[in-house]
Each structure stands twice: as C-alpha cells, then as structure tokens.
Structure 1
Amino acid sequence: MALDAGLVAAATLRRATGTDPRTCSTAETTHQLQLAHVLLDGGYDGVATLEEALAGGDHGLGTVDRLDGELVVVDGQPWRVDYTGAAELMPPSTRTPFVVVATMHHPRTVRLRNVDRATVAAAVEDLVDDPGAVISVRLEGSFTSALVRSVPPQSPPYRPYIEVCATDEVRWLHEPFDGVFVGFRFPDLDPGATIAGLHLHGLNHERTTGGHNHDLVVDDAVLSVSASRDVVMHLPDRAMADLLETPPAVRAVQRVLLRRGPSTIAQISAAVQRELPQVTADVQWLADRGFVSATEDAETAEPLWSVTMRAPGAKAEGVVADILDLLD
C-alpha cells in the first residue's frame, strides 16, 4: 500500500514551545516560525526577532513585520527586498511574522543549462526522489530572465495575503539576472501548516535587488538540494496540535479577528454571516485554548475579542496530538 506523501511528512512535525530554535535544533532539521495560514489570513505583526528565527539555519525565506517586503536568507545573512526592488541587509532586532530556515548539510548538486522553472522543479524532485520530504533548494548562477516581486508594508486592519498581492504586488522582469535563489519544496501539509510546492526568493550577486520568484529561465546555474523529514514549528507559546485541528468554521472567526482587529460577537457574526450562538461557541473554543482574549468596550461595555499571539494554549486531543506527543 502506498503511503500518502503529505501524511508521511506530517508525521515528522515536532512542536516547539517558544520561538528559539536553539532549544531543539538538530542536523537536517527545517525550522518554521508560525503556521502559514496565520500569515496568509493576515497575521503580519512580528512575533520574533530575526536573531531568534535565524538560530535554526543559515538558508531560508520569509517576510518582516507588517509584510514589509520579501526576506531572503543567504549564507546566514537576512536581506529584505522592499516594494521598490531595493535589497537591504536587516539588523538582528528586526521582527518577523513568518520565516522558514534550515542548514544545507551535504547537498546534492547538478548543473543546469538553458532550462525553465518547470525543469528546475523537476530536477529538484529527481535529486531527492522523496515526495514526503522537505527539500532545501539553492539555485545559483546566471539566468536569461527572472521575474520577481515584492509588496509594500501593510497597515491594520490587515487584508488577507491574496488580496494584498492582487492590489499591491510589484513585479520586475530582469533580463539577464546573475544571482542566487534560495527556498524550499514542501509537500502539501494540510491544513495550512506550510506553503506547498517550490517556493524561492532571490538576490542578485551585487545584493542590490531580488524578490519572490514567479518565473525564471536558467542560462547556466548550479542547483543544490538537501532533504529533511524533521520539521519543527515554532509557534509563539502555543500548542501546534490545536492550530492544526482548528475546525474550518473557527478558522473563519480567526481570519476576521486577524483582519479587523478587536471585534464584538455581533461584528464577527455579521462578517462570517452566521448566527450569534454559533459564533459565540466558536469564539469560546478559541478562548479556551488561549488563541483569543477579550477586553471591555469603553462605550458599550461589550466584550471586544482579539487574537492573542502569545497566549499559552491547551493541547487538543486527537490523532495529530498523539503523533506530536510521540515525537516530543
């Protein structure tokens, strides 16, 4: 019987309490700060510093506070490419809402000439031949063309990522481009844990520009890959199992609070178009796990609910929780 690649990879996830990768760092480990769905739903406020996040590796990608550009981690240095296309080396104190990092131990390499992005993706799979692995990818050399993008910083209430890209994304086509692209190929870890597929951010050799890669054509470049089955999720003082097992209806409430900020039950109910008792139960589910908390509205004395990014969460029950316990 063939094993589902996503389930195989999901079984390797380990939970980390706090954001310091040094507490559980091992060789051949991929470290991710925050679940992808939190970022994609509008969670753009930084939850850790780059110094904390990059303790887990010297290769990776992400973004910085308020979604202010594309983060490219090359040889241990965190570069931010802003919406004008300018690259800047960021200080360790910079806060980030989402980063994925690793260290490439004993990479496998192949030289590629005159190939497109789809061929690069196929070469990554050929070098590893393991659909359930998380693959660190580095592609360095000369490119006939490279299409990259970035976005400007956002302000609350935050819109979901797909809306930001639709209205604010800025793209550049470099012809030619000499530099390096770094990133990962993740399997599909449902629901919303990671960004599936080949995800690359790049910098030119002069370290003056780059961005999130949409497309490229290789002239002459070296592809390096290394595989990991040990993925550590660093979630700010909360249990990973709870977030992975969040019901879809409750996830919708989370999205509203991430985008709108503090809201009453009635406001949430109107936004998700569901009855007050149902929404009240969903908010209570989140509150019981420390994901949301309430303050009193000064004018109406009603509870105003908001996302609590650093609250401790109680561990959920179920298959995912059992797997994580075995891997602790």
Structure 2
Amino acid sequence: MFLRVATFLLLCAVSSSCFADETCETIGGRAAGEADYLFGVAKVTSPERLHFYSAPGSECQLPAFLVNGDTVEILRSSVLYGKSGGVSQTHPFRYVRYRDASGAFVTGWVTADQLTSEPPPLPVSHECQAWANEALRSREREAPSASNRFRVQGQARAWFYTMPNEKCRSPSVFLVPGDSVSAQEQSEDDFLEVTWYGPDHRIIRGWLKKSQLASIDEGDRYRDDINPLSVDKATRIATLSLRTDYHCVFYESWNAQKEIQIIVREDHQSALCRGSADSETSPPVAYISINKQSGEITWPDMADGFDE
C-alpha cells in the first residue's frame, strides 16, 4: 500500500524558537506512532478559543483555533507531554478533524476538557456488536484511496448500517440521492465505511452499500498551512490509514530524522485478543515507514526490518 499527499513544509528560521519546534517534533513523532485510535463526534464547549496544537505538548500551541459550537470528529487520544519529557494523565489531548465552511479539513491536537461528546446517531445493537467482535478481525479493508468522495445514486434511500452486515441496517438513518460522503476505507465486500457531513453540522459515520454510491473522482482536501511540523502529515496519514479497531495488533514507534518508523506486533493482551503469548515477546507482523514530509507510507520487507 502506498499513499502520497502533496508536500507542504514551513522551514524554521534559525532562532531561539526552533528549540520548541524540535521538542514538538519529537513529541508529535511519538504520538503519531501510538495505537490510540477511537472515533466519536464532539462539540466545542469552551467559552474561549480552543487552540490547535502541533503535538500533544503544552508548548506546542498553534495560532489556529476552534470556537464554541464547532463540531469535530475525535480520531485519537493522547496524554499531555511536557517540556521535561514527563507525562500528565490529567490533561489528555484529542486528535480531531474539523471540516471548515469551504469543505476543507483541518486536523490537529486539542485539549479534551473543552469537548463534549455527542450521542452516536447509529447506536449498535448487542447482536451487531457481537458479530463485529468476531467477524471484523478478518474483514479485508485498506486505507481510503486518494479519490474517496462518493455521491448517492439511483432513486432509493441509502440506508446506513451500524456494521457491514445485512442485519445491522439502521431503522431511521438514511441518505437521499445526491448526498455526498467521504469514504474511510477500501473494502472487498459490498459495504463501504463513510462519513456524512450535514449542513447543520451533524456528522454521521457508518456503512453504506457500494452499489448505491458513485465516485465523484475527487478526494478530501486538507489545510496544510495550519501546522508547521514535518511530522504533521505522518500523523494524519497514520490516523486515517492505520486504525487497529477489531485487529489484534499494537504498534511500537520511533521518530527518526525523516520518518516515523513503526513495528506492528501481535496483541495478546486486549479484551478481544486474549492469547497465550507473552506480550513482551509478541512477534512483529509488519514494519511501516511514514515519510514525515510527503506522508508516503512504505512497508519494508519483514526480513530487512529497520536499519539500526
């Protein structure tokens, strides 16, 4: 799998401010490799501006901000890393995606205490959740293609499914012909996980039938002028491409000079991944390298691994 996005890098001038940028680069690289994926929708409830951060560190605040009432997708979580390298469990961060008025996305870290979770529009039944816990571990899926925008076609309603299973169709949530969505994956079956962004700031993420979708031949647009760190694209690509839900793996990562290097190992400790292997000797199943400037993902051969 190879993904590439346009390169945009703001170079740091030779000044005292570069020290902070280097620190944030290290923190951002560490956070990019963590397997801390989740999904939810939240509203900003801060009476003040809620600033983006280039990395989950107290010294990494950016000029860009959200305001009260903005709706975001929560994609990852992280604890706060301080200048000293210590970690605070009491000031968590969330990696979020915000769709602006022009339809372009902004991604970055924000503090979690000013976000209020929205109730899920597609509650999952016990039966569908039990099916997903068993079946999704072996479902074939890949990261979304560059052209990930689709439009509902035909004359019928496009019903949302809470899971990619015929029995998991929502009784009340649907789209109509002409509605457009962003695909979150590529898959082998007739279901596609998508996100719909409503004019009233509602966000719905679920599965639709591929047979009711037509490609628009365009992809999501991202703002590359918000975060100056070279690690930003790697964080975004890793977040959108390397989800571990329903997969029995975990990541170990290193922030190398030009790349985020990740070793994927078998997970024998999580609730759905219980096994007899020792977690400290869990065998690697893949090596992943993410170029920090271009966002390109490469998969080094298992026999080669990473250069020491």
TM-score between the two structures when normalised by the length of structure 1: 0.31
TM-score between the two structures when normalised by the length of structure 2: 0.33
